[in-house]
Structure 1
Amino acid sequence: MTIQFYKYQGTGNDFILIDNRQELFSKNDTKLIEQLCNRRFGIGADGLILLENDKNSDFKMVYYNSDGHESSMCGNGGRCIVAFAKQLGVIENETTFVAIDGLHYAKISDKGIVSLQMKDVDAIQLASDYVFMNTGSPHHVTLVDDVKSVPVKEIGSAIRYSALYGEAGSNVNFVEPISDTLFAVRTYERGVEDETLSCGTGVTAVAIAMNAIGKTTSNEISLLVEGGQLQVRFQKEDQKYTQVFLIGPAEFVFEGQLVLAT
């Protein structure tokens, strides 16, 4: 059996995308998904995303981490699937689609900039040395003086597997303030179990966290990640963050064919 696949990336966060509206791709083959995401023995990606039919929206997004397991919401993956849906002709410039954390609205410009609406955030845990929240995926956010010198994999892994977050774990973000509206971010992602060049739900959490602890008074924040730059925009109503948008490029890289044994 032959299945067409497409490779996309959003600020260096890269994904294998498959049009699974005919339900030809096996969603339960963890080992296959892990192999396809492997950078030495497969296509190579931070995750794999299926685009499927949905009765109440334009399409459904099903996201798998590179370990082969279905995971929580991926912001950059969400932006990439919007670009993919446009390439397939499923949508034009605006869409509403469903993901594991519910409905998302998004729009894509002619230059491939995708603005993706994320979930509202109203539960923020403020500790003395970190902030924790769920922006579709769980995120631990901690301030550092020099983000470039942080051993992200070592420290991030220790926090991710600590008793603080139990068996489920958390993604871990390290943040250096550059100005009131600009922050540098590096992220350790669970499921990838390493640093990624960018994390969409992560920078969303960082932007909200920096506002919540008074490091910024702005509701439009730029985030420098290893793979480029993203923007997060939101409205704050009392202690609730609404109209949260993750904004940045989503780029097609290449396409090919998978030949799978039947």
Structure 2
Amino acid sequence: MRIPFVKMHGLGNDFVVLDAREAALPALDTARVRAIADRREGIGCDQLIVLEADDSATCQMRIFNSDGGEVEACGNASRAVGMLLGEPATIRTKGGMIATRPDAGGIAVDMGEPRFDWDAIPLAYAMDTASLPLGWDDLEHPLAVNVGNPHLVFFVPDCNAVPLETIGPVIETDPVFPQRINVNVATVGDKGTIRLRVWERGAGLTRACGTGACATAVAAMRRGLTDRAVTVHLPGGPLAIAWGADNRITMTGGATESFRGSFDWDSFG
């Protein structure tokens, strides 16, 4: 059974997209996702994206990290799927309904409203998400926010100096985060500019993370460090993030189709 796919990326965060809106795929399991995502013996990607039919939305988007786990949201994948759809669309995710539309800056995504309650992150116990009384080495007092998936944000003098490849997995799997967490280290340049690096839950260091950019921008705005519209510069490129008076986050940026192909489903069992 040969399955067509589209290989895409958003600022270097790459995806294999499978379109199952008209014909359902066989059941996906962790081993198959890992095999497809493997960069040496599979197609290779940070996330596997599956589009499915939905009676009350343009489509449903399922998101699987390269470790095989299914997650709630992915901002870069949302832009990529928005580009594939080619017109204004509503997309159901496990993290909630989002909307995409073509924009002069690429694809604009309505990412919904951020959540700050400790049990919405979720955390293992109640604490102030605006300044958590927690620390790991030199990283202390982060903010926590859920933008469809859970994020922890640290503001540091130089995000490039943080050994995120070693401290990221330690924080991600700390028991205080029962569903694990994405780890963001950010440096504010001015009221309209942030530099950001992200350790992505289930995927590791990534060149770009759309939900991380949204979470970090909102965290900076919550602390009064920036204006309500900023450019977030990730290793893969910039994203424009705005947090509107209606409490909704809009992310705007590009997405790229790399190539198309097909593979034998049974070869990745």
Compute the TM-score of the two structures, normalised by the length of structure 2.
Answer: 0.88
Match of residue 118, structure 1, among 93, 111, 123:
111
3-state SS in 2 of match to 1:35: helix
Q: Contact 1:130–1:142 (CA<8 Å) still a contact in 2? A: yes
Identity score, percent? 30
Match of 1:3 in 2: 3
Alpha carbons of structure 1 residues 253 and 151: separation in structure 2 relative to 1, 3 Å = same
Match of 2:248 in 1: 243
Match of 2:182 in 1: 171
Task: Say if 2:90 is the partner of 1:96.
Answer: yes
Shift of 1:112: 7.2
Q: Contact 1:112–1:251 (CA<8 Å) still a contact in 2? A: no
Shift of 1:98: 1.1
Shift of 1:81: 1.0
Structural mapping, 1:1-262, within 5 Å: 1-86=1-86, 93-109=87-103, 113-123=106-116, 125-127=129-131, 129-166=141-178, 168-192=179-203, 194-216=204-226, 218-236=227-245, 242-261=247-266
Distance in 1, matches of 2:146 and 2:205, equals 19
Q: Contact 1:112–1:250 (CA<8 Å) still a contact in 2? A: no
Alpha carbons of structure 1 residues 153 and 53: separation in structure 2 relative to 1, 3 Å = same
3-state SS in 1 of match to 2:213: helix
List gaps (5 residues or longer) in structure 1: 87-92
Distance in 1, matches of 2:30 and 2:22, equals 20
List gaps (5 residues or longer) in structure 2: 118-128, 134-140
Deviating above 4 A after TM superposition, structure 1's stretches of 4 or more consecutive aligned residues are: none
Alpha carbons of structure 1 residues 163 and 259: separation in structure 2 relative to 1, 3 Å = closer
3-state SS in 1 of match to 2:215: helix
Q: Contact 1:83–1:112 (CA<8 Å) still a contact in 2? A: no
3-state SS in 2 of match to 1:214: coil
RMSD (Å) for aligned C-alpha atoms: 1.6
Count of residue pairs the alignment pairs up: 248
Shift of 1:122: 4.1
Shift of 1:149: 1.7
Question: Cα deviation per residue 1:51-92 (whole Å; 9 max; x = unaligned)?
Answer: 111101111111111112211111111111111223xxxxxx
Distance in 2, matches of 1:158 and 1:260, equals 35
Distance in 2, matches of 1:191 and 1:204, equals 19
Compute the TM-score of the two structures, normalised by the length of structure 1.
Answer: 0.90
Distance in 1, matches of 2:175 and 2:76, equals 28
Question: Cα deviation per residue 1:19-48 (whole Å; 9 max; x = unaligned)?
Answer: 112344234322111111111111111001
